Structure 1
Amino acid sequence: MSTLTRPPYDPELKAALDLMPTRPPLSNDSLPTARTNRFTPPIEKVLDGHEVVVVDHTVTSFDGREIIVSTMQRADHERTDGPAVFSIHGGGMILGDRWVGAEALVKWVETYDAVAATVEYRLAPEHPDPTPIEDCYAALVWFVEHSDELRFDTRHLMVAGGSAGGGLAAGTVLLARDRRGPQIAAQLLMYPMLDDSDTSVSSQQYENIGIWNRNDNRFGWASLLGDRVGTAEVSIYAAPARATDLSGLPPAYLDVGSAEVFRDEVVAYATKIWHDGGEAELHVWNGGFHGYEMIATSALSIVTRAAREAWVRRHLGF
């Protein structure tokens, strides 16, 4: 397939993309430098001017190692019947920290008096599968077990994540179902990284172009899975696109740009949920590249955020 045969970018987004500096392809050599480049504001800047209390907690993961889970609450938080959000950050399984996407968490905490938690899961390739997904699940279990102390209603718990965090969120929800773990009310999967197979049309269309392209995606999956990538030895929790049964899951919101690697796998995942009798709201935003609404100010970015917010409010009863 020619890489030139692909849906175009939204004109506003293309203008923003053209202004962004180029970076070398992700590899073992370039990864250390890539990790020094933040793609969201530091948490101190995000919290500036907001009456939100952040507390770091030490949580024991599946292998006895300690990870950090940070909680957020309004300074005046007292209610015990409110909602909670468990957030998993993006970064291709190899980049980022728990504060990626913190702007949305602060907004939900302030606006809805929600309690939020975000997990510092260990990154590949230093910590390959199953460490990232098991870290996320251990953190979720800890969060729910401390609901009385943190003062939230476990019946109104949303698991959320974007990109790799969206894939880990989907995997965490599957683990909760299969291990009869925490009850989850909703799953917010923003352009999730779901499929290690590298066989979709969209992955081929965006091989050498965009914020997160086919090379980056291959490197991320290989870092997580090693020699198992693309084989039958990969679990549905690491790559949720492999799941054949998506019944018994909480309502899902999935969105993705039409002009990015993850487009086809996100559409396929929503379709599987519907085929198995579940609830899914799917948005394929025309001309959107990966993570555009976090990077570029545009009409499409505004509409994208508004649609997500409406779904969150509707499904958690905020």
Structure 2
Amino acid sequence: MSVLAPTAPPPLDPAKFRDPWVTAKGEARATVALGGLRSLWVNTGTLCNIACSNCYIESSPRNDSLVYITAAELRPFLDEIARDGLPVEEIGFTGGEPFLNRDLPAMLEDVLSRGHRALVLTNAMKPMRNHAAALLSLRDRYGEALTLRVSLDHYGAVLHDLERQEGSFAIALDGLRWLAREGFRVHVAGRAAFGGEGEAAMRDGFAGLFAEQGIPIDAADPVALMLFPEMDAAADVPEITTACWGILGKSPDSMMCASSRMLVKRRGAAAPAVLACTLLPHDPQFELGGTLAEAARPVALNHPHCARFCVLGGAACSR
């Protein structure tokens, strides 16, 4: 197995993704309307216990550009969901490492007690284990309404540690085993092309790991094991036009921003802001307002991540 990354795509054409409404070729840029808010994400802060070499959000032990959101700051958004009858089914917590935020257990309690599902994205390392008692209490009271998605970049230690830090795979795997042993609902997130392997090989490799470790995850299930594409904003991709929906046979309703929004609190801000999606936390054009109602407007797909990650999925938008 090679540990070399696949050949990098060509650099992004600087004329692309400049105008939110018109592409570099002068065509109408695609937009996505919010069909119904089904998922709300909370970025708990960009601080993380490790610094990964390819973190799209640039999390690290020193980066607090997105500061900790508190339980008190989340509650008005939960109240807005209840008051306006918004169809939110799940509230997800991402970071940084969410378990570094000491208010996470209180936020999970607030979310779960209101009848929403909760999802936490974690590296399953020491910060998570520091909250073991609170997690066990939440498990006892809410069961499978709480899901923890553990980040494992690869099914082998070599590539995972190359991305994160030496020894991190063993620690994360120990945390994943603990979650499975204690009866939590667990998923795993990996990287589809890491190391140059195809998706089928990656799923086979993870299946072997899960079987060996006694972890009850179906590696063939694309939700239980999510394999994400690489997140290189500087790599060239086509711009998405209004004509692309028909060309690609895709619907704007299937895009992330048709059903989800994310809360962040920027360093120095008085209150959290609502963003279009989880992938673009630092781009101000995707900041939509201070309430969920304000953020219900359409989103222009004016970023390479909109194309590569959300729309194309390996397809080509060309006649």
Q: TM-score, normalised by structure 1?
A: 0.34
Q: Which is richer in helix?
A: 1
Which structure's relative contact order is higher, taking Cα pairs within 8 Å and 6+ residues apart?
Answer: 2
Structure with the greater alpha carbon radius of gyration: 2
